[in-house]
């Protein structure tokens, strides 16, 4: 289990062992907003481990002001996409040791928003909190579809999901009226955090899921419900956009990712 804080990792591990005493767990400190942390964590895995299932799940949302990571990336895009991109690249030897690996990346409904165009990736010309989030979530989809194309000839499947809507710590940076209304909105329109995990679990384990699919809740507004394949953001399956994002990700991070 990967996380930024060892104390919180230990707390989560204790809770899991209490519920399932036979669980075999290892913890790994990993901060996707710090490439030195990403490299150190990946190094522990890449040398000798086998990764059958890799879930790119971490994320930040609605940072009120533009911030940068330790490496100078806009924090939302740097964490939600570039951190995962570098970690995947660095642990790829462990993924390739698996006889049938699956990479699941967690996007969001926001990937469909018009504000999520993959331009001005570092939001240097204009920063909008939810625009940066939408951009990073579209990048999750575009990256996954490009990964699916590049792994077509090897035993690796790449799947992207969106979890619907649930009230979690992700909303901690919401401000003003939005923050006041969040509990009411959550009760009326959002699913539970446990239900929001269903698309990830389905994408990770179902034999009916195939590389390149976008999985989300089946409810009419797709905020909750049984997981199923859902429509992609418009144009996200364009190979040209996938190649552009891959190239930009390599240039920004200085990491070559060859599958």
Nearest to 122 by CA among 80, 172, 162: 80
For 216-227, the pLDDT digits (tens) are 998 766 677 889
Q: What is the pLDDT of residues 100-159, one digit of tens each?
A: 999 999 999 999 999 999 999 999 999 999 999 999 999 999 999 999 999 999 999 999
Q: What is the reported pTM?
A: 0.90
Q: Which of 127, 133, 143, 202 is catalytic?
A: 133
43-91 confidence digits (pLDDT tens): 999 999 999 999 999 889 989 999 999 999 999 999 999 999 999 999 9
Among 5, 199, 206, smallest CA distance to 106 is for 199
Query: Considering only CA atoms, which of 82, 86, 62 is closest in space to residue 134?
Result: 62
Instruction: Please report the domains of the chain, with CATH numbers, ordered by start residue.
Output: 31-253 (3.40.50.720)
**pLDDT of amino acid 179:** 52
Angle of CA points 103, 172, 20, to nearest 5°: 50
133 catalytically annotated = yes
154 CB-near residues (< 8 Å, 6+ apart)? 96, 259
Strands 101-106 and 156-161: parallel
Rounded Cα distance between 6 and 52, Å, is: 24
Our measurement of the distance from residue 122's CA atom to the centroid of its chain's CA atoms, rounded to an integer in Å, reads 18
């Amino acid at each position: 289990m990967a996380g930024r804080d060892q104390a919180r990792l230990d707390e989560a591990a204790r809770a899991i062992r209490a519920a399932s005493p036979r669980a075999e767990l290892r913890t790994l400190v990993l901060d996707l907003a710090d490439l030195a942390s990403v490299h150190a964590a990946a190094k522990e895995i890449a040398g000798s481990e086998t990764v059958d299932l890799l879930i790119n799940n971490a994320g930040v949302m609605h940072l009120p002001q533009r911030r940068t990571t330790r490496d100078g990336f806009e924090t939302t895009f740097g964490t939600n996409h570039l951190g995962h991109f570098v970690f995947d690249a660095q642990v790829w030897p462990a993924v390739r040791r698996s006889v049938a690996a699956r990479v699941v990346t967690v996007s969001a409904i926001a990937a469909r928003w018009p504000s999520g165009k993959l331009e001005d990736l570092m939001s240097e010309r204009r920063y909008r909190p939810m625009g940066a989030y939408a951009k990073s979530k579209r990048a999750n989809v575009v990256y996954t579809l490009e990964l699916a194309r590049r792994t077509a000839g090897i035993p690796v499947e790449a799947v992207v999901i969106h979890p619907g809507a649930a009230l979690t710590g992700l909303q901690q940076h919401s401000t003003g009226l939005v923050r006041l209304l969040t509990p009411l909105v959550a009760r009326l329109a959002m699913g539970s955090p446990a239900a929001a995990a269903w698309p990830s679990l389905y994408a990770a384990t179902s034999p009916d899921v195939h590389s390149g699919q976008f999985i989300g809740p089946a409810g009419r507004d797709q905020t909750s419900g049984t997981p199923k394949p859902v429509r992609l953001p418009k144009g996200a399956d364009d190979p040209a956009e996938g190649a552009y994002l891959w190239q930009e990700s390599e240039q920004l991070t200085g990491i070559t990712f060859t599958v």
